[in-house]
């Protein structure tokens, strides 16, 4: 059975007389443990889709089955539990708590789930075991993003959602961060979704979903994802 099954999901935003359709009749499936890239230009509807998958928003119509359960039907309370237990988020800007150390940032996230990973092992997974006692301001952008990845992975999520995770990083650091996401995902068998507007980065996915003008343009399985070392942009 597919791990994610989105069926005819549409998300409209109404503002007075005006209606914006951010996602229109979106359907696709994702196998457990896959790394999926969602590619599309600005305004295509990528973040809207990611927010729906992460339980931060719900579609106006359609079904969003995660592990066989339709989260589109969830109440606000059920969505809160889903976000806490099942989903890890990595954003373009790292959103770390500035007055907590790297370790404390990760620990805080691990405390809200029952099935959390070991904090120090997770920091080691992203190569930051020696920087655990540093505050975010003492870390580079790439290191801060790695803390954010550790924070997301420490929850032991079923789903790791990354919205433009390299958007604020230089080329080399961006590559390293994507490698960390890919390695962490494969080692923990987590299903990962990475939103990007960069078609080169999209080639790292086991599945590449192209979105344009709120609609799916193509869903392409990638039997041989390009190794990050070979990706240039
Ligand atoms: N809360 C909202 N209210 C009204 N319109 C919205 C809302 N959220 C998104 N939209 C609209 O939906 C469309 C898709 O937005 P979305 O943020 O999903 O695109 P995106 O592909 O993630 O873009 P970007 O790459 O620039 O982040 C846009 O036209 C946007 O203005």
> Ligand 1 pocket test: which of 21, 40, 45 has the largest number of ligand atoms within 8 Å of its C-beta?
45
- pLDDT, tens only, 75-94: 999 999 999 999 999 998 99
Rg (alpha carbons) of the chain, rounded to whole number: 17
Q: How far apart are CA 177 and CA 180, in angstroms?
A: 5
> Can you tell me whether residue 58 is helix, strand or coil?
coil
* pLDDT band with cut points at 50, 70 and 90 for residue 1: low
Mean pLDDT of 100-104: 97
What is the DSSP track for 116-151? Answer: PPPHHHHHHHTT-GGGTT--GGGS-HHHHHHHHHHH
Tell me the CA distances in angstroms from 60 to 6, 71, 114, 193, 213, one per residue in order: 13, 12, 31, 22, 17
What is the CA(23)–ligand 1 centre distance, in A?
9
Q: How far is the CA of 214 from the centre of ligand 1 (A)?
A: 9
Give ipTM to 2 decimals.
Answer: 0.96
pLDDT tens digits, 158-180: 999 999 999 888 888 888 889 98
Ligand 1 atom with the smallest distance to the CA of 15 is 4
- Structural contact between residues 169 and 92, judged by C-beta atoms closer than 8 angstroms: no
Q: Please tell me the distance between residue 126's alpha carbon and the centre of ligand 1 in angstroms.
A: 31
Which of 26, 43, 92 gets mutated to test ligand 1 (max ligand atoms within 8 A of its CB)?
43
Structural domains present in the chain: 31-61+74-230 (3.40.50.300)
Q: What is the pTM (predicted TM-score) of this model?
A: 0.92
Q: Which mutation among 15, 48, 217 tests ligand 1's pocket best, with the greatest number of atoms within 8 A of CB?
A: 48
pLDDT tens per residue across span 192-233: 999 999 999 999 999 999 999 999 999 999 999 988 888 888
CA 230 to mean position of chain CA atoms = 22
Q: Are 33 and 191 in contact (CB under 8 A)?
A: yes
Which residues, in sequence order, are CB contacts of 87 under 8 Å at separation 6+? 53, 54, 55, 155, 157, 158, 159, 160, 161
Q: From ligand 1's centre to the CA of 42, what distance in Å?
A: 8
Length reported for the chain: 233
Q: What is the pLDDT of residue 90?
A: 94
Beta bridge partners of 39: 196, 210
Question: Relative to the CA of 40, which ligand 1 atom is closest?
Answer: 21
| Location of structure tokens 């992975």 | 153
**pLDDT, tens digit (0-9, with 9 covering 90-100), for 11-68:** 999 999 999 999 999 999 999 999 999 999 999 999 999 999 999 999 999 999 999 9
Residue ranges lining ligand 1, Cβ < 6 Å: 13, 15, 20, 22, 40, 42-48, 197
Closest residue CA from atom 12 of ligand 1: 22
């Amino acid at each position: 059975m597919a791990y994610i099954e989105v069926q005819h999901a549409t998300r409209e935003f109404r503002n007075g007389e005006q209606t914006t359709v951010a996602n229109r009749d979106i359907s696709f499936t994702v196998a457990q443990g896959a790394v999926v890239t969602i590619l599309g230009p600005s305004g295509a509807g990528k973040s809207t889709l990611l927010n729906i998958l992460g339980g931060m928003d719900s579609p106006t119509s359609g079904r969003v089955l995660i592990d066989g359960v339709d989260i589109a039907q969830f109440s606000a309370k059920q969505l809160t539990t889903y976000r806490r237990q099942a989903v890890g988020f990595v954003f373009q800007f790292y959103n770390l708590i500035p007055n907590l150390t790297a370790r404390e940032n990760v620990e805080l996230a691990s405390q809200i789930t029952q099935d959390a990973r070991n904090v120090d092992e997770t920091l080691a997974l992203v190569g930051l075991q020696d920087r655990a006692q540093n505050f975010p301001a003492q870390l580079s952008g790439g290191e801060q993003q790695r803390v954010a990845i550790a924070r997301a992975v420490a929850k032991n999520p079923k789903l790791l959602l990354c919205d433009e995770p390299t958007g604020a990083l230089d080329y080399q650091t961006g590559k390293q961060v994507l490698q960390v996401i890919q390695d962490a995902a494969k080692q923990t068998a987590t299903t990962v979704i990475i939103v990007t507007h960069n078609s080169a980065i999209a080639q790292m996915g086991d599945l590449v979903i192209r979105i344009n003008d709120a609609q799916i343009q193509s869903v392409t399985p990638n039997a041989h994802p390009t190794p990050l070392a070979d990706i240039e942009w």
